Amino acid sequence: MLADDLEITLITYNRADALARALEQLAASPFADCRITVLDNCSTDHTPEVCTIFAERFEDLHVMRHVRNIGAEANYLRALETMTRPYGWVLCDDDDLDFSHCDDVIAAIEQGEVDVLSVGAPGREEWAGGRTTMGRLRDADFRVYSVFVFMPNTIYRTAAIDPAALLDGYRNIENLYPMFPFVRRLVERDAPVHVSLRMLVHRGGITVPVTPMYWFVRWVRCASTIPEQQDRRYLVWSAAPGRIAWLRTLAASILQEKLYRPQAVGGELWELLRLLRGGQRLALIALAPLALVPTPALAVAKRRLTGQEDVLTFGAAAPHEERP
């Protein structure tokens, strides 16, 4: 029975209206009878009132409120820690949920044969639905890590959320991806996966709280924790959809960093030079002189290209999102 097999935690912070919409979508879904917990990261808006209104709409709704804001990444790990059902799903309050075609997901959870499910993320549009493994997805050159670190995409078998993985997750908060150690372990042991036939989750509002270069350095740091050199290179390349896009992203990131954080760009380039290998290091060396472009020249280029005073758009995009 689904309610016995799946637990959902919805993490939220100061987005009461978005939370209400997410709860409305869940209330009208086949998942409404599951244990659902709202994990409030000490919101200062009317989030408590929204939770009170929806308490009567669910059979098993719980609200946990932190006495202080512990940060987005720690809130995600806290959600994983508290789950007790065989499978756990952490949802964010600002994504679009579509439960019109989810029978295959429910069946996979009730059968209990897979360790992880992918139910919707940017980058998995070409994935075939159904049963597979993390190794097969990786061998097909899909952006496995980019997809599975998207928080609401991933439904975990909670038995895999062991103390060692949680500790590694907390240690990796400084690199923006507390879920990375879990995904790495799943890839290393070629865990069985169910890819949903239809996307249940569609990314909603995006707020990038860091510069693309700041994000890129931390993505490479995550990759550096992987023992196998080939797998490390694969993960670094997967920062963008294709090699050309990767080069454009790196170039744009250097230019943006020089414009907005000129005091940091030198140290970040040096760290990347230390971490990257082979062709990726050569690409960095070739693009590094972009950091020598005078800041006033970048400001002029920005205004001419975008007509804006406060945004430089050269095509770079950081997939990290601000989360509650």
Q: Both 137 and 17 in a single domain?
A: yes
Q: Both 192 and 218 in a single domain?
A: no
Q: Both 219 and 196 in a single domain?
A: no
Residue 311 has pLDDT above 90, yes or no: no
SS3 category, 241: coil
pLDDT digits (tens, 9 = 90+) for 82-117: 999 999 999 999 889 999 999 999 999 999 999 999
Number of domains in the chain: 2
CATH number assigned to the domain comprising residue 181? 3.90.550.10
Q: Does any domain span residue 319?
A: no
Backbone angles phi, psi at 318, to 5 degrees: -105, 125
Q: Does any domain span residue 318?
A: no
pTM as predicted = 0.88
Q: Both 279 and 145 in a single domain?
A: no
Give me the amino acid identity at 117.
L
**Token pair listed for 127:** 């994935």
Q: What is the mean pLDDT of residues 118-127?
A: 92
Q: What residues make up the domain containing 69? A: 2-202
Q: Both 108 and 64 in a single domain?
A: yes
Residue 264 has pLDDT above 50, yes or no: yes
For residue 303, how many other CB atoms are within 10 A of its CB? 12
Q: Both 155 and 226 in a single domain?
A: no
Q: Give the confidence band of 323 by pLDDT, cuts at 50, 70, 90.
A: very low
Q: Give the confidence band of 178 by pLDDT, cuts at 50, 70, 90.
A: very high
Q: Both 175 and 236 in a single domain?
A: no
Q: Does any domain span residue 10?
A: yes
Question: What is the predicted pLDDT for the residue at 206?
Answer: 57
Q: Does any domain span residue 322?
A: no
Q: What percent of the chain has pLDDT over 70?
A: 92
Average model confidence (pLDDT) across the chain: 90
Q: Both 38 and 102 in a single domain?
A: yes
How distant, in Å, are the alpha carbons of 176, 278, 322 from that of 71?
11, 36, 10
> In sequence order, which ranges of the chain are alpha helices (DSSP H)?
2-5, 16-27, 47-54, 72-81, 103-111, 134-139, 144-148, 163-171, 180-188, 212-224, 229-237, 243-260, 262-275, 278-287, 295-306
Among 202, 224, 248, the domain boundary falls at 202
For residue 81, how many other CB atoms are within 10 A of its CB? 14
Q: What is the mean pLDDT of residues 108-135?
A: 95
Question: What is the predicted pLDDT for the residue at 205?
Answer: 61
Q: Give the strands of the sheet with 87-92, arranged side by side.
A: 61-65, 35-40, 6-12, 87-92, 154-157, 116-118, 192-195, 130-133
Residue 316 has pLDDT above 50, yes or no: no
Location of structure tokens 């972009």: 290
135 vs 303: which has the higher pLDDT = 135
Q: Does any domain span residue 323?
A: no
Which residues have a Cβ under 8 Å from the Cβ of 104 and sit 6 or more positions away? 129, 130, 194, 196, 197
Q: Both 191 and 240 in a single domain?
A: no
Q: What percent of the chain has pLDDT over 90?
A: 79
Residue 183 has pLDDT above 90, yes or no: yes
Q: Both 222 and 190 in a single domain?
A: no
